[in-house]
Each structure stands twice: as C-alpha cells, then as structure tokens.
Amino acid sequence: MAIQAPATEHINAYEVALRQYDRAVAYLDLPQGIKDYLRHTKRELSVNFPVRMDNGDIRIFSGYRVHHSTVLGPSKGGIRYAPNVDLDEVRALAMWMTWKCALVNLPYGGAKGGVICDPYDMTPTELERLTRRYATEISLLISPHGDIPAPDMGTNAQTMAWIMDTYSMTVGYSVPAIVTGKPINVGGSQGRKEATGRGVIICMDEALRRAGHNDPGEIRVAIQGFGNVGTYAAKHAFDLGYKVIAISDVTGGYYNAQGLDIDDVMAYTEHSHHNLLEGYSKADKITNAELLALDCDVLAPCALENQITEANAADVKAFLVVEGANGPTTPEADDILFDKGVHIIPDILANAGGVTVSYFEWVQGLQSFFWDVEEVNRQLGRVLIKAYDDVVRTQEQYNVDMRTAAQITAIKRVGEATRTRGIYP
C-alpha cells in the first residue's frame, strides 16, 4: 500500500531558504562576493539509475546529492527517500545543513541527498538494491573525509548499513566513517537514534526554563510527526514529565487532554502496520490541521517543510514553536507568529542534535574508540546549550527574532572562515 504524506502546499523550500538567508546576511559586514558565494550551492549531482524490482522488472529512479558548502570541513547531511523529492528541496536542505553545522560548531559543511521513490511501497530487498545502486552512483561525491551521509526522512540505520557495506566492498576494507546513523553493531553511536528528538526537547526545556516555566507537568506539548524525530521528542518530553497531549503521523492526529503515555504509544507502533499510529485507541482522532491549531503551550512540528504557512499561522495557539523538522515554517508564517508574540526555536538549532551525535559517531569511527550513552548525551547537551547561548547573544546584539539570530551566527562563522581561507587561486 502506498502511503501519502499530508498534502503540503506548493511552496519551494529553496526559495524559503534563500529568503531566510537574505534576511540574515543583510546584517553582516561581509564582502558582497562572499555573500553571493554562500548564496549558491557548491556542486550538484543528479543521477538516473536502474533497479531490478522483485518481480523482475527494471525501474529507473532519479536521485541527487548536493554540496552546499565545504568551507568549515567535509560536507554532512542526510539522504531522503520520498515521492516528492526534487532538486530544489535537496538544495534547501543542503544549505540548512551548512548553517546547522556552523551554528553548533561542528567542523562540517552542508550537504543533502534524495531519491524520488516511495519507500513504503517497496520491499526491503528492493530498497537494498536501490540503496546500493544510489550509493555507487553518488560515490563520485561521498567519502569519509569529503562528504558523509546520514539518515533523513524515509531512510534509517539499515539504509546506512547498506551504504557503508557498498562503499567498503568497493574499496576493499570497512569504512565506518563513510556514513553516520549506522546500527550500533556496525559502528553506530550510542544515542544517535534518539539524538534529534532529544535535542528538540533540550532546546524546548531551555527556552521554558529561561521564561520561568519550571514545572513540566503544567506544560502541554503537541508534536506533529511520529517518525524518528517526533517519536524521540515525545519520549524525552514524556520522560521529563511534560504532558504530551497530541501526536500525529500520515494517518492523522491523536489527542488526549490528560497526556498520552508515550511508552504505550511506542509499544503500539513497534508492531503496527508500517509503524503507524492508525488504530491507536487511547486517544481521540483529530486531523493534522487541528493538531497545528491545538490549544497547547508548545507546538513541535517534527515532520516536513512548509507546515506552518500564511494560511494557518494565525491559528497557532502555542506560545512556543520548536522546529524538529527542517523548514516547517515559511517566512510569511514567521512574521505572523512574531506579531502574535509566539517564540520560535528555529530548525537549525532545535533539530541539530541529530547531526551533533552524527559528528560524535564519525569521530568514534575514525578513532575506533567508542563512548557510552551517558558521555554522548552529556556532550550533546553541552553543544546544544552553548549554541543556544550563542544565538541568544546574537539576538540581543542585533535585536532580531531567534531564526534570524541563528542564521546570522552561522553565516558569520562560514563567511569569516571563507575570508580566512581566501579565494583560490
């Protein structure tokens, strides 16, 4: 069965990323040439390749790998499998990776990849052949010191294991540092699977604490998306005592005013069809649109781009929006939320926990020395709180909203590093 994602409006994510960039870069005193340089992707690879399906048919798939920047180090970013992937979306996601890595001070540039396919409509053996062939096609660009992929929507630890194996077979020895987000038994890191969601809640908790909200039991959280990010955001919020009153996935929203038992929900989705929430009975069914407009304190969009737009931003009742997804809020919606006094913790900070632990995984793989989960989580908290502080300081310095402050902080770092390195030749 093919599962359709909720209809997103036809808003071009790359245009959104560029508008955010233009807004932030205007505050910076950088040479115009460097501002123009960072506005462009560095290189873009498009590939079309055949995959043998289980019934013997050969199908042609299209995919991309885009490097936005390699100024601060090897480029880093996930690979997305979804029917609506296109080059502009991958460009936007690659650019956001550059700012995200710079913001949390990782020695990485930004990249992203994607394949146009419906992973819910393919068998594991078809997905394995697609992944191995795509990995081979983009081997022109990926390497452990050049460009390091990771999971994103529609891919997971198993996908990374196949990429690692394919690359390793080609060079003749195991190269764990070629990808991050691997299963733990082939060099993955403790805490990586949970890291993005955990980071979302670390940022939420920090914002609430700074605003004087010290009782988690009083705070009602609604989370859009119950994939990797939403699930572990809900789990960490629940474990800290927050009231998670609504969650959702492609099958709709699930609401319980008393708070959902997230351990129970996770036990349900572990065995449900495609791990979906459909049929979960200890909650009232609402729509995804109703979830976004729910009477709650914190809204965490952890699904897709362009979810909070000009059309529904006025309906948001939360006082805090924490962006677990990349690009869930359009610039028009940013302005509407700002005027309403809604505080936004932007994606490049709120969801940076994933790539942060990816970095830890890469370092562990290169050193063949592995950390325990306590060490991973301690370092994750340290990195995110430092980035949060940096953004607040920029916010005070420039008197701007938090998204613009986060982008200013990141663009400044990449821009100054570009200047220091100089323009070749």
By CB under 6 A, name the one of 188, 354, 365, 415 that touches ligand GLU. 354
Q: Which is nearer to ligand GLU, 127 or 355 (CB)?
A: 355
Please report how close the Cβ of residue 154 comes to ligand GLU at its closest, in angstroms. 11
Which residues, 6+ apart, have CB-to-CB distance to 289 below 8 Å? Answer: 312
Q: Binders of ligand GLU among 272-331, rule CB under 6 A?
A: 326
By CB under 6 A, name the one of 358, 364, 407, 418 that touches ligand GLU. 358
Q: Which is nearer to ligand GLU, 17 or 245 (CB)?
A: 17
Exposed, middle or buried by CB within 10 Å (0-12, 13-18, 19+), for 279? Answer: exposed
Q: Does 129 engage in binding with ligand GLU (CB under 6 A)?
A: no
Q: Binders of ligand GLU among 80-119, rule CB under 6 A?
A: none
Instruction: Say how many residues touch ligand GLU, by CB under 6 A.
Output: 12
Residue type, 374: E
Please report how close the Cβ of residue 264 comes to ligand GLU at its closest, in angstroms. 27
By CB under 6 A, name the one of 42, 65, 67, 76 that touches ligand GLU. 76
In 84-142, which ranges are E strands?
A: 109-116
By CB under 6 A, name the one of 190, 228, 351, 409 that touches ligand GLU. 351
Task: Tell me the HSE value of 262 on the side-chain side, using a 13 A CA sphere.
Answer: 23
Q: Binders of ligand GLU among 180-199, rule CB under 6 A?
A: 180-181
Q: Which is nearer to ligand GLU, 149 or 415 (CB)?
A: 149
Q: In the structure encoding, which two tokens stand for residue 252, read together?
A: 């709709």
Q: In the structure encoding, which two tokens stand for residue 392, read together?
A: 């607040």
Q: Does 150 engage in binding with ligand GLU (CB under 6 A)?
A: yes
Which residues, 6+ apart, have CB-to-CB distance to 341 below 8 Å? Answer: 319
Beta sheet of 252-255, edge-to-edge order: 284-286, 252-255, 243-249, 220-224, 298-301, 320-322, 343-345
Q: Does 365 engage in binding with ligand GLU (CB under 6 A)?
A: no
For residue 365, give the nearest of 228, 189, 201, 202 by alpha carbon.
189
Query: Dihedral sign, CA of 114, 118, 120, 122?
Result: negative
Q: Which is nearer to ligand GLU, 150 or 376 (CB)?
A: 150
Q: Binders of ligand GLU among 40-59, rule CB under 6 A?
A: none
Residue nearest to ligand GLU (CB): 78
Q: Does 152 engage in binding with ligand GLU (CB under 6 A)?
A: yes
- As a three-state string, the secondary structure of 196-232 is HHHHHHHHHHHHHHHCCCCCHHHCEEEEECCCHHHHH
Catalytic residue among 42, 76, 100, 112: 112
By CB under 6 A, name the one of 63, 73, 77, 230 that touches ligand GLU. 77
Q: Binders of ligand GLU among 378-407, rule CB under 6 A?
A: none
Query: In the annotation, is 412 catalytic?
Result: no
Q: Does 364 engage in binding with ligand GLU (CB under 6 A)?
A: no
Site stretch for ligand GLU (CB under 6 A), options 9-17, 237-245, 350-358, 413-421:
350-358
- As a three-state string, the secondary structure of 30-98 is CCHHHHHHHCCCCEEEEEEEEEECCCCCEEEEEEEEEEEECCCCCEEEEEEEECCCCHHHHHHHHHHHH
DSSP code of 368? T
By CB under 6 A, name the one of 78, 191, 197, 324 that touches ligand GLU. 78
In 122-218, which ranges are E strands?
A: 147-151
Please report how close the Cβ of residue 78 comes to ligand GLU at its closest, in angstroms. 3
Distance CA 391, CA 230 (A): 24
Site stretch for ligand GLU (CB under 6 A), options 72-80, 118-126, 231-239, 240-248:
72-80
Helical segments of 250-372, H only: 262-271, 288-292, 331-340, 347-350, 353-367
Catalytic residues, which ones? 112
- Interface positions with ligand GLU (CB under 6 A): 76-78, 150, 152, 180-181, 326, 351, 354-355, 358
